[in-house]
C-alpha cells in the first residue's frame, strides 16, 4: 500500500470506504456505532471529510490505484478532553472491508506516528466507539494505545454515543 496526501478529489472514495464499513456493521447487527444511513448522503459527513482534505490532514492508502484506506489527523475534535502535552490526533481511520487482514489500519497508524514525530508531538491520540462488544477499543489497544478518557456524545431521541479516547506516547 502506498500512502499519499488526499485532496477534495479523494472525498468520494473516503465516503465510499465509510459507506462500506457501515454496510459491514449493519450486516452484523451493529447499528449502534454509525447507524444505518450512508455517510455519502449525509451533508454533515461530506462537509467533515471535505474539511479534513482542505486542512491538509487527510491521507489515503492505495493498492493498485484503488483507495483502500483513509486517515485524517489534526487537532482533537471538540467533544474530546484537551491534551496535556503536544499531540497529533487521529480524527478518522477507515479501511476497505474487502481488504481485511492486510494490516491496512496498522500501516495508516504507522504513518500517523511518523507525522506526529516529524511535528514534534509526543503523543498520538484517537477516539473510537466504546459500545457494543468493545472490539474497536481492543483493536486500538493491539495497535499500542492505552485507554484514557471515556466520554458520551448526546444524541437527539437516542441513547448517548459512547466513546473512548486512547493514547500512545511516542
Give me the CATH number covering residue 78: 3.40.630.30
Q: What is the model's pTM?
A: 0.94
For the chain, what is the domain count? 1
Q: Which grid cell sits at 36?
A: 444505518
- For residues 8 and 54, what is the distance between their CA atoms, to the nearest angstrom? 7
pLDDT tens digit string along 50-77? 999 999 999 999 999 999 999 999 999 8
Q: How confident is the model at residue 131 (pLDDT cuts 50, 70, 90)?
A: confident
Confidence (pLDDT) at 157: 73
> Mean pLDDT score of the chain, rounded to an integer?
94
Q: 28 lies in which domain range?
A: 2-169
How confident is the model at residue 166, as a pLDDT? 97
Q: How far apart are CA 84 and CA 123, in angstroms?
A: 10
Length of the chain: 170
Report the percentage of the chain scoring pLDDT > 90. 78
Mean pLDDT is lowest, of 6-10, 32-36, 117-121, for 32-36
Alpha-carbon distance of 160 to 141, in angstroms, equals 23
Amino acid at each position: 500500500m502506498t500512502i499519499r496526501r488526499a485532496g477534495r478529489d479523494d472525498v468520494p472514495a473516503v465516503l465510499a470506504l465509510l459507506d462500506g464499513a457501515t454496510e459491514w456493521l449493519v450486516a452484523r447487527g451493529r447499528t449502534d456505532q454509525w447507524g444505518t444511513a450512508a455517510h455519502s448522503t449525509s451533508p454533515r459527513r461530506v462537509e467533515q471529510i471535505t474539511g479534513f482534505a482542505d486542512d491538509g490532514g487527510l491521507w489515503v492508502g492505495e493498492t493498485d490505484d484503488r483507495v483502500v484506506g483513509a486517515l485524517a489527523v489534526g487537532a482533537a475534535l471538540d467533544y474530546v478532553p484537551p491534551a496535556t502535552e503536544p499531540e497529533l490526533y487521529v480524527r478518522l481511520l477507515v479501511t476497505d472491508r474487502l481488504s481485511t487482514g492486510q494490516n491496512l489500519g496498522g500501516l495508516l497508524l504507522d504513518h500517523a506516528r511518523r507525522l506526529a514525530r516529524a511535528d514534534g508531538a509526543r503523543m498520538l491520540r484517537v477516539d473510537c466507539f466504546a459500545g457494543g462488544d468493545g472490539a474497536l477499543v481492543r483493536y486500538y489497544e493491539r495497535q499500542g494505545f492505552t485507554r484514557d478518557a471515556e466520554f458520551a456524545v448526546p444524541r437527539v431521541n437516542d441513547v448517548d454515543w459512547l466513546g473512548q479516547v486512547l493514547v500512545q506516547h511516542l
